[in-house]
Structure 1
Amino acid sequence: MHSRNLHKDSAYDFEKLSDANPDLKAFTFKNEYQNTTIDFGNPKAVVALNKALLIAHYNVSNWELPEGYLCPPIPSRVDYIHHIADIVTEKQEIKGLDIGVGANTIYCILGSQVYNWKMIGCDINAESIKIAQKNIDFTPKLKKNVSLIHQSNNANIFEGVINVNDYFDFSVCNPPFHNSENEAKKGTLRKLNNLNKKDFELNFGGQANELWCNGGEALFLKRMIKQSTLFKNQVGYFTSLVSKKEHLPKLEKQLSKLKAKYRVIPMQHGNKITRILAWSYIKNF
């Protein structure tokens, strides 16, 4: 994890976290090693943990997430934000754009609360925007720093969100991973199986637009890169998570053809390895 990530090299303090969010306590138990933990295959337990982490460590007054929405792991998401901070260092006031903010609003929350960035979040799901707005409204600092936009045209990524006179220092994105609903369900089953969970729940968390799109991650990022050329002078650094490293060669080739500067930033969280692809038409790395 990033050197500034306060979750690196430390287990969750469930006693402290249960003080922050008393609802978490009902989900805690002692494992075979007599360590306090939760069932990470239980979406309600993970939501309770996230709420506790945001209250205890990120000065959020409250955070809610209805069933069926993607609940992201805080440690890995804040890692992404720390790596962005390493890139956008030349200005005092930073403005960022979250593509696919989701109901959880996590990148906007962390950008605001960790670095006091101004953040705009957009999403094609109008209901997600409504839930996200409630999460923003809970905390005065978030109300000041974060704005949300409904992207009404799901063919567009930046158009309709970035206006003529807008400038963003960076964009972030956690793209849809799968290329079909069936593939998303298989991924859920694998995830639950890895957690040794015998009673599989197909709804591990995530709306359709959060989990899959036609062509999956590779095609989504190809579209994002293509559409980024229309806003090359209005975003300092475009970035996205890339879950599958085999997608990188074609994406790098596409960026090279467009004469964009780019960098791949590796990230590791436990056994999971992922990376950030960052590119720019106007900035150096």
Structure 2
Amino acid sequence: MEHPLEAAPAPQEIPLTSCPGTEVETLQHHMAQCVADLEAVKEALLACPDDPELLEAKQLLEESLEGAQEDARLPDDGTLIQKDGSCSASPSLPQAATPPPAPLPHAPRVAGRGAPNNARINPRSRYAQEEPDFGDLAQAYPYLRPFLVPRGTGRPSLNFRDPRACVALTRALLARDHGLRWDLPPGHLAPPVTGRANYVHWVQDLLALSAPEGGEVCGLDVGTGANLIYPLLGAALAGWRFVGVDVSRAALRAARRLLDANTGVARRVTLRRVPMQPEQRAFFHGMEAAPEGPREEGDGGGGERGAASGGAWEEVSAGDAAGGGILSAALRAGEAFAFCMCNPPFFESLDEAGRNPATAFGGTPLEMVYPGGEAAFVLSMLADSCTLRSHIHWFTTMVGKKSTLRALRGALARAGARVVRTTEFAQGRTSRWGVAWSWAAPAAAAAAPLRAPAGRGAAAALDPARRRHMRPVRTEASAVLRALCEAARGSGRVLREVDPQAFSLTVEVGGGGGGLGGGVAAGAKRPREAPTSGPGDDRGPHPALARFQVFQQARGEQTVAASLEGASVGGDFAELVSAMWAALDGL
């Protein structure tokens, strides 16, 4: 990710108040469940030795068990050597109620489909089903042509050692597949689209397991950077709202230019600047702003604050923030999010970053370096989550080192985290890992499989307890919006608002009559508040509203999100959504 926000405490500083029993007992429980689950997976592999999901689960469980044993320093004679060097006899390991970090299972891939080199990409992703043809892509986007590398008679490759090639590829993929206009100032981190989309889809999987109450999903991007990749993809792929946070004014200026170039996304993204943590400022020799150079333009003296930033972003002062930690400094008091995303700085020093042979995706010092490196960053993030608890439903981060993955798993076990999920973001020879934990999700979410993908239209049984539903549609966005409007009119419900620019409509969930009804055309926009009640109004309480939003995932491929606003969830909302989905079946 892009930049650090706080120095890391030592692992032993993470509070253990939520952990039942001692640290030793927690680790024993964790290892016992790993052993039990590993045996079950091995037994299943006897029947299906080549099943990729079982093989991945086996690998992750073995790594989790190895990491826990290493953390506890458990030798072969059964003696448990604790952190202070004292020894105690290790009793036989009990069967624990605490599940280990588990990969999210998916439906098996259909034989003969998918790209062979992308077999471990999230099945939601379009990139799981096809490998890029850089030659064809360069035909459509000529700025890629200088970076093509011939490969005999096969498809050309790309010169991934050139940072300009990585920027050009990201620009082309975002334009072709997501309808986004994108560019990047020289020197900043160029994100690989396929890996970042993989992360977004995994968060979708997590929210399908457990999500906070409320209609719209809003996420926090910790270190949004100049590339703004997670808010752009999250809004385009899933329709989420985002608060993108950064310490660097240069990064936020670049992010604001991206929002100005993508007005359809801009309304869903808020930028926010937070000050550096004292330890980070000291690490960068007391520089107040991001060290992209001797000093950023506009960062002398008092720098840009509030109105001086031209309204391009919000400023969060210490008095307004929920705390002073790596996450809490970015939240306003009382604020809550469905999830946070993070791609932490990878290196401990600029020297280490300079020695790394695979830095063609670029990066400024703030994007690449953090005192203590990646592990220190994510352990600080965990420590802050122990205070924030349910203010963020899912805490997630990407990590690039297996040692960091093991350290974070052990720290989560010591902190008493009961709901922990892990996954691997793999493509070709590059692997990253995702770690997620929640203090708010039910314990069953730690190992529960994903619900099977819903069927089409009214035949699909919708969960009446959910406030949000989504489904893909393969046709043009205008045709989708027209069909939704016709279905709303046909249902007899009140059509409150149609916004053809935002490709959205709002419908009253209750039974029909009145309102705009059938008199609204797909090109009309009416104020949402018109039919609601007010002081002295005898029209009754504010009705529950269903908002339907069309998002383009690729040309000719849309996702429709239905969310409930106001009132409690009930069968009326599921019934309305089913009717709307049925109207999309014929498209």
Question: TM-score scaled to structure 1, two decimals?
Answer: 0.89
- The residue aligned with 2:146 is 26
- The residue aligned with 2:339 is 170
Residues 239-267 of structure 1 show CA distances to partners (whole Å, capped at 9, x for unaligned) of 00121122233322322232222122222
- The residue aligned with 2:178 is 58
Among residues 72, 97, 100, which one is paired with 2:191 in the alignment?
72
Alpha-carbon distance in 1 for matches of 2:137, 2:215: 32
Verify the 8 A CA contact 2:134 2:158 in the aligned structure 1.
no
**Partner SS for 1:240:** strand
- The residue aligned with 2:223 is 100
Alpha-carbon distance in 2 for matches of 1:4, 1:204: 25
Among residues 218, 221, 224, which one is paired with 2:381 in the alignment?
224
| Unaligned runs of at least 5 residues, structure 1 | 193-202
Question: Structure 1 residues 281 and 204, CA, compared in 2 at 3 Å: closer, same or farther?
Answer: closer
- The residue aligned with 1:199 is none
Measured after TM superposition, the shift of residue 180 of structure 1 is 0.7
| Unaligned runs of at least 5 residues, structure 2 | 1-120, 279-324, 446-587
The structure number with the bigger radius of gyration is 2
Alpha-carbon distance in 1 for matches of 2:201, 2:225: 20
Question: Structure 1 residues 80 and 215, CA, compared in 2 at 3 Å: closer, same or farther?
Answer: same
Q: Does 2:123 align with 1:3?
A: yes
Q: Does 2:167 align with 1:47?
A: yes
Alpha-carbon distance in 2 for matches of 1:167, 1:99: 14
Over aligned residues, Cα RMSD in angstroms? Answer: 1.9
Alpha-carbon distance in 2 for matches of 1:273, 1:18: 26
Alpha-carbon distance in 1 for matches of 2:410, 2:226: 33
**Partner SS for 1:69:** coil
Verify the 8 A CA contact 1:265 1:276 in the aligned structure 2.
yes
Q: Does 2:390 align with 1:267?
A: no
Q: Does 2:358 align with 1:191?
A: yes
> Aligned ranges for residues 88-127 of structure 1 at < 5 Å?
88-89=207-208, 90=211, 92-127=215-250
Verify the 8 A CA contact 2:345 2:373 in the aligned structure 1.
yes
Alpha-carbon distance in 2 for matches of 1:126, 1:228: 26
Question: Structure 1 residues 171 and 67, CA, compared in 2 at 3 Å: closer, same or farther?
Answer: same
Alpha-carbon distance in 1 for matches of 2:259, 2:146: 26
Alpha-carbon distance in 1 for matches of 2:277, 2:232: 24
Question: AA paired with 1:283?
Answer: A
Verify the 8 A CA contact 1:50 1:74 in the aligned structure 2.
yes
Measured after TM superposition, the shift of residue 92 of structure 1 is 4.9
Q: Does 2:398 align with 1:233?
A: no
Measured after TM superposition, the shift of residue 229 of structure 1 is 1.9
- The residue aligned with 2:549 is none
Residues 189-243 of structure 1 show CA distances to partners (whole Å, capped at 9, x for unaligned) of x227xxxxxxxxxx75101111111110111111111112221121000000121
- The residue aligned with 2:440 is 282
Q: Does 2:200 align with 1:81?
A: yes
**Partner SS for 1:232:** helix
**Partner SS for 2:126:** coil
Question: AA paired with 2:276?
Answer: N
Among residues 209, 232, 254, which one is paired with 2:411 in the alignment?
254
Measured after TM superposition, the shift of residue 29 of structure 1 is 4.5
* Higher RCO, 1 vs 2 (CA within 8 Å, ≥6 residues apart): 2
Verify the 8 A CA contact 1:124 1:154 in the aligned structure 2.
no
Equivalent residue pairs, number: 272
Among residues 142, 150, 156, which one is paired with 1:36 in the alignment?
156
Question: TM-score scaled to structure 2, two decimals?
Answer: 0.44
